């Protein structure tokens, strides 16, 4: 799929068609102003975007671009369509609370402020992680281009896309109680204090130090976990905020990459590696 910058709203217009007595919606190339093929943008927005927003606000699973496109051109599934800014707006509404709606939470926090209430309760799956990554980018004010695919790849490898079974690691070297963390005992969720948790598997100290203002204080919250992961990668590895060197920055051989370039765990074309 490609994006276009032409048209009244930054791309091609949506038009109606009838096939076998059934009315459908499809994306067509931009036409000159006044052309019969140009659908009024406000009507198009109301008819096509509002239902998607309503679904998301109701807490239902996010609508993916492929699903949305299928709806818009269901009578001609083989037709090549262009994703426009209009469609993007439909897929980035105010997220439901379970996805990580903005809060008044501060930025960097102490480990004693971390909450542990959302284990097994939040959304999971690749589409949910992609939607959460986009929301994390919005809150952080960074572009999606590199961060969204990179963080979705990390979430897939670290927690099977936030699957409840893999939201906490109780088996690696971090899985222990340590002095000064939760009184040297287990965390409030009953597991060893320093276990890695959440979609991108932050230990509590890392989550607290890289917590992003406007996200949940809960370490299991999908948006909060991904946002903290992005912040951690930027501050710890010096990756640019635009994420352009996420997979290519020269880091030297070490924890982030076997060959010394970029965050390997975010690269689907290389073997998984801790970050």
Q: Average of pLDDT values for 90-118?
A: 67
Q: Residue 26 above 80 pLDDT? A: no
- pTM, full prediction: 0.64
Domain boundary among 93, 128, 143: 93
pLDDT band at 254 (very low <50, low <70, confident <90, very high): low
The answer to whether residues 141 and 241 belong to one domain is yes
- Choose between 109 and 64: higher pLDDT: 109
The answer to whether residues 68 and 107 belong to one domain is no
N- to C-terminal Cα separation, the chain: 31
The answer to whether residues 137 and 225 belong to one domain is yes
The answer to whether residues 218 and 119 belong to one domain is yes
Domain boundary among 93, 115, 148: 93
Q: State the DSSP code for 184.
A: G
The pLDDT of residue 51 is 57
The pLDDT of residue 4 is 38
- Interatomic CA distance for residues 265 and 229, integer angstroms: 12
The answer to whether residues 153 and 25 belong to one domain is no
The answer to whether residues 109 and 87 belong to one domain is no
The answer to whether residues 36 and 136 belong to one domain is no
The pLDDT of residue 72 is 43
The pLDDT of residue 141 is 97
7 contacts 84 by C-beta, under 8 angstroms: yes
Q: Residue 44 above 70 pLDDT? A: no
- Choose between 50 and 65: higher pLDDT: 50
Q: Which residue matches tokens 């490898």? A: 157
What CA–CA distances, in Å, run from 183 to 132, 191, 193? 32, 13, 9
The pLDDT of residue 257 is 72
The answer to whether residues 88 and 105 belong to one domain is no
The answer to whether residues 88 and 109 belong to one domain is no
Q: Is residue 275 part of a domain?
A: no
- Domain tally for the chain? 2
The answer to whether residues 88 and 115 belong to one domain is no
Q: Is residue 126 part of a domain?
A: yes
Domain span including residue 71: 13-93
Q: Residue 45 above 80 pLDDT? A: no
Write out pLDDT tens, residues 186-233.
999 999 999 999 999 999 999 999 999 999 999 999 999 999 999 999
Closest CA relative to residue 150, chosen from 240, 18, 84, 258: 240
What CA–CA distances, in Å, run from 197 to 91, 206, 218? 28, 10, 10
SS3 205: helix
The answer to whether residues 238 and 219 belong to one domain is yes
Domain boundary among 42, 58, 93: 93
Based on C-alpha coordinates, what's the Rg of the chain?
21
What CA–CA distances, in Å, run from 165 to 131, 153, 190? 21, 18, 15
Take residue 224 and report the two structure tokens written for it.
């909060």
182 contacts 201 by C-beta, under 8 angstroms: no
- Choose between 116 and 105: higher pLDDT: 116
The pLDDT of residue 251 is 86
């Amino acid at each position: 799929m490609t994006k276009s910058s032409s048209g009244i709203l930054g791309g091609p217009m949506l038009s109606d068609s009838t096939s076998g007595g059934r009315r459908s919606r499809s994306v067509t190339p931009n036409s000159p102003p006044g052309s019969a093929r140009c659908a009024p943008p406000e009507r198009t927005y109301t008819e096509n975007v509002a239902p998607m927003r309503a679904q998301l606000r109701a807490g239902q699973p996010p609508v993916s671009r492929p699903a949305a496109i299928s709806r818009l051109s269901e009578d001609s599934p083989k037709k090549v369509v262009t994703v426009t800014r209009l469609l993007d707006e439909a897929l980035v509404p105010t997220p439901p609370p379970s996805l990580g709606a903005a809060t008044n939470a501060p930025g960097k926090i102490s480990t004693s402020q971390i909450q542990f209430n959302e284990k097994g309760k939040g959304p999971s799956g690749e589409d949910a992680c992609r939607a959460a990554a986009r929301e994390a980018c919005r809150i952080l004010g960074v572009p999606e281009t590199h961060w969204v695919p990179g963080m979705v790849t990390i979430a897939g490898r670290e927690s099977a896309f936030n699957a409840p079974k893999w939201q906490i690691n109780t088996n690696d070297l971090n899985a222990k109680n340590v002095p000064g963390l939760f009184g040297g005992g287990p965390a409030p969720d009953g597991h060893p204090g320093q276990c890695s948790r959440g979609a991108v598997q932050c230990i509590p100290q890392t989550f607290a130090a890289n917590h992003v203002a406007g996200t949940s204080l809960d370490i299991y919250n999908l948006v909060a976990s991904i946002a903290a992961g992005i912040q951690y990668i930027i501050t710890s590895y010096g990756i640019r905020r635009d994420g352009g060197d996420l997979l290519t920055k020269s880091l030297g051989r070490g924890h982030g990459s076997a060959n010394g370039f970029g965050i390997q765990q975010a690269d689907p074309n290389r073997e998984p590696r801790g970050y």
